[in-house]
Amino acid sequence: MSIYRHIPAPPLNQYVDFFWYYVDLSPDHDREHVLPDGTFELIVNLQETPRKLFHGANSATYDAFERGWISGAHSKFLVIDALPRSSMIGVHFKP
């Protein structure tokens, strides 16, 4: 498992807080709560397996995202799947 984070140089750092990347992440749980933080995130899935955004903390229903998505500002936590051997890259924008 490898996790990387890069802070961009000017002028991009006016808009982008950081870039992130992880490969072969294997969490010991199957769902994660993403807390609201007032920012936007551009996320690219580097695997063929679609990622799931569940409709609630204990919900069996979900929306699937194949290659990428934008996560915007939200007022409550989101519930996503946590797959073994995940690989993703993203851009975390400033508020």
pLDDT (0 to 100) of residue 26: 87
Amino acid at 36: P
pLDDT (0 to 100) of residue 3: 92
Q: Which residues pair with 92 in a beta bridge?
A: 18, 41
The model scores a pTM over 0.75 = yes
Structural domains in the chain, sorted by start: 2-93 (2.60.120.10)
Output the tens digit of pLDDT for each of the chain's 95 residues. 899 999 999 999 999 999 999 999 889 999 999 999 999 999 999 999 999 999 999 999 999 999 999 999 899 999 999 999 999 999 999 99
Q: Reduce the DSSP state of residue 38 to 3 states and report it.
A: coil
Amino acid at 58: N
